[in-house]
Amino acid sequence: NAGVTQTPKFRILKIGQSMTLQCTQDMNHNYMYWYRQDPGMGLKLIYYSVGAGITDKGEVPNGYNVSRSTTEDFPLRLELAAPSQTSVYFCASRLTGMNTEAFFGQGTRLTVV
């Protein structure tokens, strides 16, 4: 069972470039999330989705876009990358409903120079 898979693991972008961080899960989870982790700042929610075709903003959505065309995939798009977007990005998923544990991908370390 693969769980939550993120690609790439590492990436260096130049200022102004764009890229898509991929996230896929094989557990048939409806809820999916994108977080960014900066040193000493915890995990901040960027976007989340409760099912295919439904997405909503989290705490720090500016500079990012998401789509959810299938249950399995939840890609995160960075447009016009900025140094402030240098971070470690985690995708997570969990079952529908209350009190279900979240499963995390291994993360993508992104550096914008």
Partner 1 sequence: QQPVQSPQAVILREGEDAVINCSSSKALYSVHWYRQKHGEAPVFLMILLKGGEQKGHDKISASFNEKKQQSSLYLTASQLSYSGTYFCGTEIPFGNEKLTFGTGTRLTIIP
What is the C-alpha to C-alpha distance for residues 77 and 87, in angstroms, rounded to an integer?
14
11 strand-pairing partners: 110
Shorter beta-carbon distance to partner 1: residue 5 or 20: 5
Tell which one of 56, 79, 82, 111 touches partner 1 (CB under 8 A). 56
Q: Is the peptide bond before 61 cis (omega within 30 degrees of 0)?
A: no
The reply to whether 5 sits near partner 1 by the rule CB under 8 A is: no
Tell which one of 58, 61, 63, 75 touches partner 1 (CB under 8 A). 58
Identify the three-state secondary structure at position 58. Answer: coil
Which x/- pattern over 13-52 shows residues binding partner 1 (rule: CB under 8 A)?
A: ------------------x-x-x----xxxxxx--x-x--
The number of helices, as runs of H, and strands, as runs of E, in the chain is 0, 11
Binding site for partner 1 (CB under 8 A): 31, 33, 35, 40-45, 48, 50, 56, 58-59, 90, 92, 94, 98-99, 101-107
